[in-house]
């Protein structure tokens, strides 16, 4: 095997071949910094007093990885910070330079499951069904009624509401007030309420008078008559009182709302394509190197040095010692590897701590604390006294 030239103190960047992936090769600032960072790392490792058993491509590879790692850490934090606001939106274009605003969309979507149970909206459809009342029959099976209508109940149903209550008081205006001289048939006809009470005179009464009549009838029924009620167990309904005169006391149909359990248990609420469904398809791309500030670039340089140390340690670890005339040299593979790993961990922890300090929660807490201190300071400012 021929001898491979090692780093000689100079380097030149060639787009398309100097880095493994070429993520940032088109960025002139990246190319310039790649060359400068390789020289800086080599000098930090002792060059030219000692040889550095690497090539320029090794430095460029480490530099590209450091930039990508920096971007990954930043954008992973952004995803954690905003994922609830992003989930369900279109993947669309890159979010790198987009301002993500908190919204209530997903909170409302989550709360819609409770709305479905309360019958106030949500994703679960409420269906309407009915069964025919029969004189003298108290118990009815809702599943049988649905099956006879051709509805598939094998997936399970759940009854949400049964429309079974006493007829409204307005239809019983004849009892107990008929013939009292207070009927207002002509007035009710004007408002479309005709045929609900006896027409006796044209006296205009206050609206609360009609309300009090309705309340009196309803209280009379609830106290002196058998209450209208039902109970339901396993889709079997028993109604009270037992229907005897279907035409007079009831409609011939009993209506109810129900849901299909499979629809409620289905966790998929949106089947459209190109939606953000997990952290892997949140549209963050590699950072644009020229847009990274000096703080980020210094972190990248330091992380590059850690990667270079790690690569150099692996190379020097191939030979624990190197023979020289009359002696041998022990290489510092262990020290390099230990330092590189420790420094990488420290740099990542430093970056993550800085990102956490810029979280929305921490920033709001800091602003609230500053506002409290400002109010305390202003409270000590003497107030001027004005004389007129």
Q: pLDDT of 24-40, one tens digit each?
A: 999 999 999 999 999 99
Joined tokens for residue 376: 């305390």
Task: Give the structural domain span for 197.
Answer: 166-227
Does residue 222 lie within any of the structural domains?
Answer: yes
Mapped onto helix, strand or coil, the DSSP state of residue 327 is strand
Check whether 14 has a pLDDT greater than 70: yes
Q: Is residue 297, in this structure, part of any structural domain at all?
A: yes
* DSSP class of 205: P
Residue of higher predicted confidence among 3 and 21: 21
**Confidence at residue 182, expressed as pLDDT on a 0 to 100 scale:** 46
- Percent of the chain topping pLDDT 70: 83
Cα–Cα dist 176/178, whole Å: 6
- 64 in Cβ contact with 309 (< 8 Å): no
CA 162/CA 164 separation, integer angstroms:
6
What's the CA gap between 285 and 36, in Å, rounded? 25
Please report whether residue 258 resides in a domain.
no
CA distance 355 to 80: 11
Sign of the Cα torsion 140, 143, 146, 148 reads negative
pLDDT of residue 235: 82
| pLDDT value for 177 | 43
- Average of pLDDT values for 337-356? 96
Residues near 113 by Cβ (< 8 Å), separated by ≥ 6? 122, 123, 124
State whether residue 192 is helix, strand or coil.
coil
Q: Cα separation of 131 and 255, whole Å?
A: 7
The pLDDT score that the predictor gives to residue 386 is 74
Predicted TM-score of the model (pTM):
0.73
Is residue 321 assigned to a domain? yes
| Contacts for 320 with CB less than 8 Å, ≥ 6 apart | 330, 331, 333
Q: How far apart are CA 339 and CA 140, in angstroms?
A: 79
Q: What is the pLDDT of residues 297-317, one digit of tens each?
A: 999 999 999 999 999 999 988
Q: Of 88-102, 156-170, 307-321, give the lowest mean pLDDT range.
A: 156-170
Query: Around 228, how many Cα atoms within 13 Å sit in the side-chain half-sphere?
Result: 14
More confident residue, 78 or 226: 78
The residue from 199, 227, 255 where one domain ends is 227
Supply the pLDDT for residue 161. 86
Residue 150 lies in a domain: no
Helix axes 28-44 and 56-86, enclosed angle (nearest 10): 120
**Residue-level pLDDT at 330:** 66
CA distances from 93 to 12, 83, 111, 379 (A): 34, 16, 29, 50
Whether residue 235 lies inside any domain: the answer is no
- Encode burial over 117-142: b for 16+ CB neighbours within 10 A, e otherwise: eeeeebebeeeebbbebeeeeeebeb
pLDDT beyond 60 at 173? no
Reported confidence tier of residue 364, pLDDT bands at 50, 70, 90 = very high
Tell me if 76 sits within 8 A of 48, measured CB to CB. no
> How much is the mean pLDDT over the chain?
84
How many domains does the chain fold into? 2
Extract the tokens encoding 126.
């409420």
Could you tell me the CA-to-CA distances from 262 to 44, 120, 154 in Å, in that order? 65, 19, 10
Residues 133/253, Cβ–Cβ less than 8 Å = yes
Return the percent helix, strand and coil in the chain, to nearest 5.
45, 10, 40
**Residue 264 in domain:** no
Residue 124 pLDDT grade (very low, low, confident, very high; cuts 50, 70, 90): confident
Residue where a domain terminates, one of 206, 227, 248: 227
- pLDDT tier at 91 (50, 70, 90 boundaries)? very high
pLDDT tens digits along 182-234: 444 444 544 455 555 444 445 677 888 878 888 887 787 777 666 678 888 88
Residue 34's pLDDT is 96
Task: Look at residue 62 and tell me if it is in a domain.
Answer: yes
């Amino acid at each position: 095997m021929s001898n491979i030239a090692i780093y000689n103190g100079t380097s030149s960047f060639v787009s398309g071949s100097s880095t493994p992936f070429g993520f940032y090769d088109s960025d002139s600032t990246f190319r310039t910094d790649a060359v400068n960072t390789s020289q800086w790392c080599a000098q930090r490792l002792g060059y030219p007093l000692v040889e550095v058993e690497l090539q320029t491509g090794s430095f460029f590879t480490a530099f590209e990885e450091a930039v990508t790692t920096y971007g990954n850490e930043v954008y992973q934090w952004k995803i954690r910070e905003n994922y609830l606001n992003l989930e369900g939106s279109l993947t669309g274009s890159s979010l790198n330079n987009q301002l993500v605003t908190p919204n209530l969309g997903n909170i409302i979507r989550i709360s819609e499951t409770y709305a479905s149970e309360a019958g106030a909206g949500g994703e679960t459809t409420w269906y309407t069904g009915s069964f025919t009342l029969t004189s003298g029959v108290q118990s009815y099976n809702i599943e049988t009624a649905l099956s006879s209508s051709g509805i598939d109940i094998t997936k399970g149903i759940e009854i949400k509401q049964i429309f079974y209550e006493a007829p409204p008081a307005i239809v019983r205006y004849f009892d107990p007030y008929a013939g009292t001289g207070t009927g207002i048939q002509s007035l009710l006809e004007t408002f479309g309420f005709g045929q609900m009470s006896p027409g006796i005179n044209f006296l205009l009464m206050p609206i609360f008078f009609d309300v009090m009549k309705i309340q009196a009838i309803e209280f009379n029924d609830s106290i002196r008559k058998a209450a209208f009620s039902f109970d339901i167990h396993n889709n079997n309904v028993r109604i009270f009182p037992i229907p005897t005169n279907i035409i007079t006391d009831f409609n011939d149909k009993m209506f109810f709302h129900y849901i299909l359990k499979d629809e409620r248990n289905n966790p998929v609420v949106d089947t459209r394509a190109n939606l953000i469904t997990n952290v892997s398809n949140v549209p963050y791309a590699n950072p644009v190197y020229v847009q990274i500030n000096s703080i980020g670039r210094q972190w990248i340089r330091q992380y590059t040095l850690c990667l270079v140390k790690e690569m150099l340690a692996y190379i020097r670890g191939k030979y624990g010692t190197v023979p020289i005339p009359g002696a041998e040299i022990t290489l510092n593979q262990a020290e390099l590897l230990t330092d590189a790993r420790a420094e990488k961990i420290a740099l990542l922890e430093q970056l993550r701590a800085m990102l956490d300090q810029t979280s929305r929660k921490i920033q709001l807490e800091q602003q609230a604390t500053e506002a409290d201190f400002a109010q305390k300071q202003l409270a000590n400012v003497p107030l001027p006294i004005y004389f007129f």
